Amino acid sequence: MMEEFLRDRDEMIFGSYDEDMYFGGIRNFHGISLETLTKLISCDYINLNETMNNSPTIREFYGFMSRYPGKFEAHGFVNDTDVVITGIETINTEASEINMVIANDFWITFNKADRLMLDCHDGGCYNLFCWYD
């Protein structure tokens, strides 16, 4: 049963299950879209109240990504029972797609991140990134 859970979950996140990719029981991921996050939630593979190292909850990350669909993706790690989001970042976009309103919301929401990057100029942002250590 546990292996079936891991296979299904990992296929959603990584495209396949490979136990050799786990180091110390953990496997990192990046580039999780809002669509994939929604599927993980609907399959009950994610605890929306999960938090790590003073990060916002997954519910808060999901809420932010839902406000700006197609603009952000999540990164974090999985272990044998949990999916943990440690941050989000912009998807490769044109600066005009990430305006200062979005950048301000990003700053307000994630300004306590251990690593925070807002690459903004000329009225747009090329990269927004946060990571909680």
Tell me which residue of 118, 111, 112 sits closest to 54, measured CA to CA: 112
Quote the pLDDT of residue 96.
65
Sequence ranges of the domains in the chain: 2-131
Quote the pLDDT of residue 93.
67
- Taking residue 79's Cβ as centre, other Cβ atoms within 10 Å add up to 13
pLDDT in tens, the chain (133 residues): 668 888 999 999 999 999 899 999 999 999 999 999 999 999 999 999 999 888 999 999 999 999 999 999 999 999 988 999 999 999 876 656 788 899 999 999 999 999 999 998 877 788 899 999 8
pTM over cut 0.85: yes
Instruction: Cite the beta strand spans of the chain per DSSP E.
Output: 27-32, 72-78, 83-90, 115-121, 124-131
State residue 115 phi and psi, 5-degree precision.
-135, 125
CA 39 to chain centre: 13
